[in-house]
Structure 1
Amino acid sequence: MKILVIGASGRVGTELVKQLLADDHQVIGTTRQKETLFDDDNYSQLDLDLTAEKDAIQSQIDNDIDTVYFVAGSGSKDVLEVDLHGAIKTIQAVQDKGIKRYIMLSAAFSLDTSKWNTPGIADLKDYYICKHYADQWLVNNSTLDYTIVQPGALKERAGTGKIAINDGDSGENSIEDVATTLAAVLNASNTIKKAFNMHNGDIDIAEAIATV
Structure 2
Amino acid sequence: MKILVIGASGRVGSDLVEQLLADNHQVVGTTRQDEILFNDDNYTQLDLDITAEKNAIQSQIADDIEAVYFVAGSGGKGVLEVDLHGAVKTMQAVEDKGIKRYIMLSTVFSLDTSKWDNPAIADLKDYYIAKHYADQWLVNNSTLDYTIVQAGALKERAGTGKIAINSTEAGENAIEDVAATLVAVLNADNTNKQVFNMQNGDTAISDAIAKL
Which is worse superposed, 10-19 or 112-121? Answer: 112-121
Letter of the 1:198 partner, please give it: M
Q: How does 1:153-164 map to 2 (within 5 A)?
A: 153-164=153-164
Q: Does 1:107 align with 2:107?
A: yes
How far did 1:211 drift?
1.4
Q: Does 1:32 align with 2:17?
A: no
Distance 1:186 1:38 in 2: 21
Cα RMSD over matched residues? 0.4
**Number of the residue aligned with 1:56:** 56
**Number of the residue aligned with 2:198:** 198
SS in 2 for 1:86: helix
**Number of the residue aligned with 1:10:** 10
**Number of the residue aligned with 1:67:** 67
Spell out, residue by residue over 1:70-94, the C-alpha distance to the aligned partner (whole angstroms, 9 max, x if none). Answer: 0000000010110000000000000
**Number of the residue aligned with 2:44:** 44
Taking only the aligned residue pairs, the percentage that are identical comes to 79
Distance 1:119 1:148 in 2: 23
**Number of the residue aligned with 1:122:** 122
Q: How does 1:74-89 map to 2 (within 5 A)?
A: 74-89=74-89
SS in 1 for 2:92: helix
**Number of the residue aligned with 2:133:** 133
Distance 1:207 1:120 in 2: 30
How far did 1:119 drift?
2.8
Specify every segment of 5 or more residues in structure 1 that has no aligned partner in the other structure, as ranges: none
With structure 2 as the length reference, what TM-score do the two structures score? 0.99
How far did 1:140 drift?
0.3
Distance 2:96 2:18 in 1: 28
**Number of the residue aligned with 1:90:** 90
Distance 2:13 2:58 in 1: 20
How far did 1:15 drift?
0.1
Distance 2:169 2:145 in 1: 26
Distance 2:50 2:98 in 1: 20
Spell out, residue by residue over 1:52-79, the C-alpha distance to the aligned partner (whole angstroms, 9 max, x if none). Answer: 0000000000111110000000000010
For these two proteins, the number of residue pairs brought into alignment is: 212
Spell out, residue by residue over 1:87-138, the C-alpha distance to the aligned partner (whole angstroms, 9 max, x if none). Answer: 0000000000000000000000000000011131111000000000000000
Letter of the 1:78 partner, please give it: G
**Number of the residue aligned with 1:146:** 146
With structure 1 as the length reference, what TM-score do the two structures score? 0.99
Q: Which runs of 4+ in 1 moved over 6 A?
A: none
**Number of the residue aligned with 2:173:** 173
